[in-house]
Structure 1
Amino acid sequence: KTAVEICRLPLRTPNFTGMPNLEYVNFYKCSNLEEVHHSMGYCRKLIRLSLSYCKSLKRFPCVNVESLESLSLGYCSSLEKFPEIHGRMKPEIQIHMLGSGIRELPSSYFQYQTHITDLHLSFMKNLVALPSSICRLKSLVSLNVWGCQKLESLPEVIGDLENLEELDARGTLISRPPSTIVRLNKLKILKFEKRDGVHFEFPPVVAEGLRSLVHLNLSDCNLIDGGLPEDIGSLSSLKELYLNGNNFEHLPRSIAQLGALRILHLRDCKRLTRLPELPPELNELHVDCHTAMKSIHDFVTKRKKLQCVIFESFDYEDDAHNDYIYNLFAHALFQNISSLRHDISASDSLSENVFTIVHPRKKIPSWFHHQGWDSSVSVNLPENWYIPDKFLGFAVCFNGSLIDTTAQLIPVCDDGMTCITQKLTLFNHSECDTELSGSLKRDTEFAIHFLLVPLVVLWDTFEANGKTPNDYGIIRLSFTGEMNKYGVRLLYKEEPEDETLLQMRLNNNEPTEHPLRKGIQQR
């Protein structure tokens, strides 16, 4: 075998005319190399040629591909023209162009390489179009053009790629994908997340198409009302929908029909006036806090499987403001449960629903009067703490992983009265932990979880033997799992001071001080 491996070259390669048996050439990271000698086109036995990271390479006239199995042009950022091809390509040839400056792809490459399953063209900064011959690649499973910042369109017959499962077109100038894209019924992952200034429109009708689509990313696409198909609800397999940073005021009503949807991202949608009716199986919602506050009643009353509400727009440096937001969320969440008092009486399901927010400070909101680090907490209940038709239960907040909690009411006097004990298994919380998206899994250590222990779930009339809740003076909560911090608060219906503050928040009239926290400290 004959090989040439040079790490430091002058501006051009040597003349290869006297090397007819050359098989391997490695010019990897030859940062000064500007030109490959045209005699490279006569090397018929060449098997592997690597020019990756030759960032100064500008001229590469031709290459003989009769024996070539691998050609690496990755990150040749100054190379704008693909070399002229001599000979017929072998079916097994692999050409790597990731991050190169090539403007136009050779049609002949796709004409003979019908076996290709993965085509990675990411970060080709000068690529303006894809040849229609790409659509002859009937075995293609993955097409990646992420970061091709001048790419304006996809081939009109993109729908002919009948086996395509993943299309990543993030960071391109594509504004209107061809209508044939909906024929890609094996497509599972579709990403069009954009750069600033690109206005995007999805094909207006998707019914009967994209039947296998699981993941759709249209974040930062400058979508306005009408930019999403009205029949988006027909995407029956869709589990993850990313719509961050768009400009719509309303979302299509058919989103409620996305029966498989588990994760929805709506962060930084500043013009969104209100959330639509959400899909029944939605588990995780990423949203700005002001939008969440407006829809928190629906979170509680209509979507019992929604446990993870992720706020990502905190001011990391402003602890006072963050505590204010925490307090607002906690108060709004638990107060809205009051509208379900009759449902609570009939079912203990709410006690097993956990709502989650994520923030690096991971502080227990000061709204929770009783806080600590132990695996259990005992709270002395004030005299006449139970007010009929007003007391809702015990609001609990924790950081960490909780499997179940045991709640125990202990009598005021030791006159033979027995404790009332109930164990609540948080099966939904465990399910939530296992189904979180990748980004949230990385942030679980920063998660703060909220749950309610309703009195009607804990109170056992038979065990009470004629006593009232006010005959019990201590509530003890024991936690099983990996708890780091906890907070507990007695929850009553209609707390006027907090309701007023919540209304200010809904009207986007935030006070310059944080009276909620101040009010809590004064109690």
Structure 2
Amino acid sequence: MNKLLYTIMLELKGVPKMHEDHLYLCRFPYHRPIVSKLKDGYEISIIEHDPPIIKGLKLKKARDWVSTQCIIQGTRCIEGIVLDFEGRPFVQDPSGERISRENLQRMPNLTSALTYAKEWCKKFLQDNAENEREVVLHTKPFESMVNLRLLQINHVRLEGKYKYLPAGLKWLQWKECPLKTLPSDFCPRELAVLDLSRSGIEKVWGSYTSKLSSLKELSLNDSAIEEIPDSVGSLSNLEILSLMWCGSLTAIPDSVGSLISLTKLLINGSAIKELPISVSSLSYLKELSVGNCKDLSKLPDSIEGLASMVELQLDGTPITYLPDQVGALKMLRKLEMRNCKKLRFLPESIGSMLALTTLNLFGANISELPESIGMLENLILLRLNKCTQLCKLPSSIGNLKSLRHLWMEETAVIELPESFGMLSSLMILKMAKKPYIELSGNSVPSSIEFPTSFSNLCSLVELNARAWKLCGKIPDDFEKLSSLESLNLGYNNFFSLPSSLTGLFNLKELLLPYCKELKSLPPLPSNLEDVNVANCTALESVSDLSNLERLQELNLANCEKVVDIPGLECLKSLTRLHMCGCKACSSMVCLRNIRTLSMPGSRIPDWFQAGVRFSEHKNREIKAVIICVVVSLDLQIPDDLRDQLPIIAGIKANLVKMNKPLFTTMLELKGVPKTHEDHLYLIRFPDCHPIVSKLKDGYEINVIEHDPPMIKGLKLKRSGIYLVFEGDDDYEGDEESLDESQLSISEKLSKFFSCLEEEDHTSQSDCVVESQVQAIEEEEEEREISEPVWWDFLRPLQRCFCL
């Protein structure tokens, strides 16, 4: 009709500096008006602007191409089409309209009628909105695509006869297919892969299934499928059958046993109640996955027929036992039974599964492991986490020569068998328990120690024995564990470590929090990066730390008896120092690399501001933001959360523009004080942190408490912020001779903390004097009460004599 409906100026970026021709390509997505407004019969043309906007510009050739044109007209050379439009998730839950209709039928009254009318209107509007967004393709154009082999049409609706789809189609993925049944005229004989996941399909072909002789993979995951036809057994070439999360599927037909080529059967999350006995005929099946089938309570005894099975997944099923025939699965490598809450024991025949490399019993209710488990000579991973009823390990566990990972956190095991040291390949041992939790039904001996053979674990890299109630002294031969890189012995009751830990030369992480009877920290290995002795309230002495050149974090929170930390000034790599509740001197530490610091104190530097407004400096970039806060805790207010958290939560920094928060970060105030005293926390944010990188001219930073409070009794007393610009903290020489205004930020902070500690010592001395004077006055008052009246005449003479 030659009527102009829409015009767009092509954005041809890049102006050539030569006379040569240049090619420009512009691609417009479907949401742009030039695409979304297209209708049948519309034309697209490309012309020059008249008059020309740029002198000398000449349009030589122009061509428009619509990506759906190949579908509209068809072409013989196309072999694959991929159309993946994002659609809404398929919902199988009953709609409000359906529920209200059933309520109206059951209890007809005015209220139910009005409710139904309201829900019907709502559904009508929703359906119309969905239909407007729906992508529709016609099947007729596919007829001429005789070479089409791959077709992906996710979130698309097809209209027309399905016989037009090429007979040579081999791969079809149609997620969120809106059909409830596949039409009888759709049967591409060469189809090898069919994926109808998240679709509304309730039934697949019946007698037509036999014509799909080439089908190798069928996926109906998360679909509305209600029944698998018996004719599925005729798919002799089918290798993968995936029916995961099919909530309406309650049974698998016996004919599945005829799938002689099947290698994977995946039924996770479906509603099946049992596996057919014929499943044992699947001699080539390698993977059987029935996890989270909530109604599947047992496996068929005929499971021994699955001679080729490599992986069996039973997670979250209500099975109570494994049949003895499971021991016949000689090829099985992976057996997973996570969260099988009704599983009480394993059969002795499990020891016959010689190929087993992974055994996962996370969250099972087993009370013991069979002795035959020691026969699993190829077992690499044994996971027993949260097996809260497991009280002991069998003595045969030492025979697992290939075991590398043993995870047994939060179990009821309180002793390791003497054979434990024979696990020569063990690298990861995680057997932590929850602090503050007493395991019921298990008597804890008065003294728990590692077995004498424990030091033979020469391959051990990570050991976590938190809250095992280890008592006494950790033996000196513990130093033989020379491969250790991470050691966590927190929340235990031992009073002494080995006389030296320097033999653990690979150790990078030493965690000993809440070891309340530990009295001293021995010489430590030089490769340590993290040392945590927080809340070791009996700790009195720390060995020289000057050799810890790589140490990045040191946590001495609430180590109130520690008065000196030798070598602290040599820790050049230290970035995090936590000393709240600790009276040891911290002014010697190098503050240039410090990112977080906590210590007793009630003041912040007077050159810090409670709130700052950023203004850009010419030729000087912002490098960091330093925030100081002074907080106190009212310990008279009980709070279980406060006693268990490693940090004080509830103080946050805001980046604000015109009183509107743009970014908020919670300050990580590590170390929770155990006294009412004020404590100072310093945090330095580098330029990569959003609170620094997002700063623009006119933006403000402030510090506030979270409302409502996250920790009871927390009080923010003071806060201060300082912006560090380029050149403020770059000087690395001796600053003793420099003027106050020339000092680097690190040196100024160091001087401030020195003054803070001197004031603290002075205040402590004043407190001692005041307490002594008060004691003398109280003593004199007691004497006045107990002495006779005539003694008052001799009191002046007594004082003169004392003078």
Which TM-score band (shorter chain)?
0.5 to 0.7
SS of structure 2 residue aligned to 1:399: strand
CA contact (8 A) 1:25 1:48 kept: yes
The structure 2 residue matched to 1:105, chosen from 333, 346, 364, is: 346
Q: Within 5 Å, which residues of 2 pair with 1:218-297?
A: 218-226=465-473, 228-255=474-501, 257-269=503-515, 271-281=516-526, 282-288=528-534, 291=537, 295=541
2:760 counterpart SS class: helix
Question: Is 1:172 matched up with 2:448?
Answer: no
Residue in 1 that maps onto 2:296: 57
CA-to-aligned-CA distance 1:96-144 (integer Å, 9 cap, x gap): 3232243333444442433x43x14142422222233333333333322
Number of residue equivalences? 389
Alpha-carbon separation, structure 2, partners of 1:289 and 1:87: 50
1:26 corresponds to which of 266, 275, 278: 266
> Judging changes above 3 Å, is the alpha-carbon distance between structure 1 residues 284 and 355 closer, same or farther for their aligned structure 2 residues?
farther
Does the residue aligned with 2:460 lie in a helix, a strand or coil?
Answer: coil
Partners of 1:65 and 1:86 within 8 A in 2: no
Matches within 5 A, 1:193-204: 193-195=432-434, 196-197=437-438, 199=444, 201-204=448-451
Give 1:332's aligned amino acid. A
Which residue of structure 1 aligns with residue 427 of structure 2? 188
| Alpha carbons 1:105, 1:130 under 8 Å: kept | yes
Aligned counterparts of 2:744 and 2:582: Cα–Cα separation in 1: 19
SS at match of 1:489: helix
Q: How far apart are residue 193 of structure 1 and its match?
A: 0.5
Do the aligned partners of 1:225 and 1:251 also contact (CA within 8 Å) in 2? no
**1:201-256 deviations in whole A, cap 9, x for unaligned?**
34342476111222110012122225x44532222222211122223344343446
Query: How far off is 1:29 after superposition?
Result: 0.5
From 125, 140, 147, give the equivalent of 2:379. 140
> Are 1:66 and 2:311 counterparts?
no
Give the Å deviation of 1:478: 6.9
State TM-score, norm by structure 2: 0.41
Letter in 1 for 2:741: I
| Residue identity opposite 1:168 in structure 2 | W
- In the TM superposition, what whole-angstrom CA distance separates every residue of 1:346-372 from its partner, at most 9, and x where no partner exists? xxxx7599666578xx9x984445448
Cα displacement (A) at 1:168: 1.3
Distance 1:504 1:158, change over 3 A: farther
Aligned to 1:421: none
Question: Are positions 1:334 and 2:586 aligned together?
Answer: yes
TM-score (norm 1): 0.60
In the alignment, residue 140 of structure 1 is paired with which amino acid?
Answer: L
List gaps (5 residues or longer) in structure 2.
1-236, 559-576, 613-621, 626-680, 688-728, 768-803
Q: Secondary structure at the match of 2:741?
A: strand
Larger Rg: 2
Which residue in the other structure is 1:474 paired with?
Answer: 741
SS at match of 2:325: strand
Question: How far apart are residue 79 of structure 1 and its match?
Answer: 0.9
- 2:684 aligned to which of 399, 410, 425: 399
Cα deviation for residue 458 of structure 1 reads 1.2
Q: Which residue of 1 aligns with 2:554?
A: 309
SS at structure 2 position matched to 1:309 = strand
Report the Cα distance in structure 2 between the residues aligned to 1:504 and 1:68, rounded to whole angstroms: 79
Deviation at 1:397, TM superposition (A): 6.7
* 2:738 is the counterpart of 1:498: no
- Specify the code of the residue in structure 1 equivalent to 2:734: L
Deviation at 1:303, TM superposition (A): 5.7
1:440-451 pair list within 5 angstroms: none
Quote the Cα distance in structure 2 between the aligned partners of 1:209 and 1:165: 14
Q: How far apart, CA to CA, are the structure 2 residues paired with 1:501 and 1:214?
A: 47
> Does the aligned pair in 1 maintain the 2:336–2:361 contact within 8 Å?
no
Q: What is the match of residue 456 of structure 2?
A: 209
Distance 2:519 2:457 in 1: 28
SS of equivalent residue, structure 2 residue 372: helix
**What percent of counterpart residues are identical?**
23
**Cα distance 1:80–1:365, how it changes in 2: closer, same or farther (>3 A)?**
farther
The answer to which structure, 1 or 2, has the higher relative contact order (CA under 8 A, 6+ apart) is: 1
Which of residues 79, 84, 91 is equivalent to 2:331? 91
The residue type equivalent to 1:170 in the other structure is E
Compared CA separation, residues 298 and 291, structure 1 to 2 (3 A): farther
- Matching residue's letter, 1:71: L
In the alignment, which residue of structure 2 is the partner of 1:415? none
Q: Which residue type is aligned with residue 16 of structure 1?
A: D
Q: Which runs of 5+ in 1 are unaligned?
A: 314-324, 338-349, 378-395, 403-452, 461-468, 480-485, 506-523
